[in-house]
Each structure stands twice: as C-alpha cells, then as structure tokens.
Amino acid sequence: MTSTAENQAWPATSGPAVTLDHATLRTTDLAAHRQFFACLLGLQTGYRPDFGFPGDWLYAGDTPLVHLIPAGATGDKDRCDAETIDHVAFAVTDIEAARARVQAAGYRHAESRIDELGERRLFVESPTGIRIELVERGSGT
C-alpha cells in the first residue's frame, strides 16, 4: 500500500519532455548479441551511420533501440574495454536548454552531430563517470 504523498509524486507532472531512446552495449561478440536480441526481442539489424569503427544498430520496426559496439573499438581511452553497458540515451526536445543546464551544473560533457540523421547529441558524464547521451532529432544541420 502506498501513501497519498507517494501517489501524488508519481508520475512527475513537470520537467523536460524526455523518453528513453536507446542503450549502447560494448561486447566482444557482435554476432552472438545480434542473434540474442533477434531471438529475445525480434530486433533486426538496420542502418547505422559510419562512425569509423564497427558496430550494429538493432531495430524494432523503424526505431534503433540497441546499439552494439565492440569492446575497445572506439579508441576512447576513458571507456572500458570490457563487456559493459556503454551508455543510455534519452531523446529530448530542447538540447540547447539541456546543454545550458549541464554547463551551469559543471558536468563534463561533449557535443556531436549526425547531420545525415538531423541529430544533435550531448554526452554527459555523471558524478561517478556513467555516460548519458541526450539526443535531439529534427534539429537540422
């Protein structure tokens, strides 16, 4: 049984418009993970921009939900080479407002664009080093 106060606090009625976008997994076996997610969730390999390192985007319909990258493939010295969740991404509607909040709070971050997809991205490091990606789509080039 929950209290009235708990019921009033959930769900949140204000805050930024945000949805879970995708999860990126680092793995030593791309093929096994492609097969695993096809069996488990019916996800299929689809289009992935050329990031200069191998990987797969696994789609549910038109939506790329799981991104797979080889452990150690990105050359990012701050990221681990082991099997792990690399980052979780959230879709936002105003990346400039998110960037302003991140900068005001002093969090480490990096920005990127994927012009061919009309996306702007902000990678933010949590206080303990967990990477969170924010994605704004349809932002133009």
pLDDT tens digit string along 4-34? Answer: 444 444 455 555 578 889 999 988 889 999 9
The CATH number covering residue 44 comes to 3.10.180.10
Rounded-to-integer distance, Cα 7 and Cα 2, Å: 7
State the pairing for strand pair 18-27/63-70: parallel
User: In this predicted structure, what is the pLDDT of residue 86?
Assistant: 85
Task: Compute the average pLDDT of residues 57-85.
Answer: 80
Query: Is residue 29 domain-resident?
Result: yes
Give yes or no: residues 102 and 137 share one domain.
yes
- Which pTM value belongs to this model? 0.70
Query: Is residue 81 domain-resident?
Result: no
| Closest by Cα among 96, 25, 93, 113 to 64 | 25
User: In this predicted structure, what is the pLDDT of residue 15?
Assistant: 58
Give yes or no: residues 100 and 68 share one domain.
no
Name the range with the highest mean pLDDT among 14-23, 39-48, 131-140.
39-48
Query: Is residue 40 domain-resident?
Result: yes
The CATH number covering residue 110 comes to 3.30.720
The band of 47, judged by pLDDT with boundaries at 50, 70 and 90, is: very high
Query: Is residue 3 domain-resident?
Result: no
User: In this predicted structure, what is the pLDDT of residue 139?
Assistant: 56
Give yes or no: residues 67 and 98 share one domain.
no
CB 70 within 8 A of CB 77: no
Give yes or no: residues 22 and 68 share one domain.
yes
The band of 58, judged by pLDDT with boundaries at 50, 70 and 90, is: very high
User: In this predicted structure, what is the pLDDT of residue 44?
Assistant: 95
Give yes or no: residues 24 and 66 share one domain.
yes
Place of tokens 């976008």: 21
Split into its structural domains, the chain has a count of 2
Record the tokens describing residue 30, joined without a space: 């791309």
Rounded-to-integer distance, Cα 82 and Cα 10, Å: 36
Query: Is residue 82 domain-resident?
Result: no
Tens of pLDDT, residues 81-128: 667 888 999 899 999 988 999 999 999 999 999 999 999 999 998 877
Q: Which residues constitute the domain of residue 57?
A: 18-72
